[in-house]
Amino acid sequence: MDTSVLVEMPRLAEAGGLMEKLAASGLTANLVSAEGGWEVEIHSVLEETEQVADEVKDLLDALVAERGLPFIPVRVGERTFAVRPPSD
């Protein structure tokens, strides 16, 4: 069974950066325009979803640190993350 991990991103530049990191890690994803930002949908097999979610969190942390972004990645659901300003 196929499922996905979703990441809500505020800006296209960061969404593109995440797409690059995912591809380098061998993960496939789609970039979708969403209300107020972008969504990156990372595909995984159901049995691997938690492992993929953990890897996505690590990639988000690295992206924010490398680019010195004014955002923090937060887990907002079982398979959903959001990259937000610290005050949200």
Q: What mean pLDDT is predicted for residues 11-37? A: 91
- pLDDT of 8 above 90: yes
Q: Tell me: the pLDDT tens digits for 31-78?
A: 999 888 999 999 876 667 888 889 999 999 999 999 998 899 999 998
Fold classification of 2-84 (topology level):
Alpha-Beta Plaits (3.30.70)
Compute the C-alpha angle 46/48/52, nearest 5°: 115
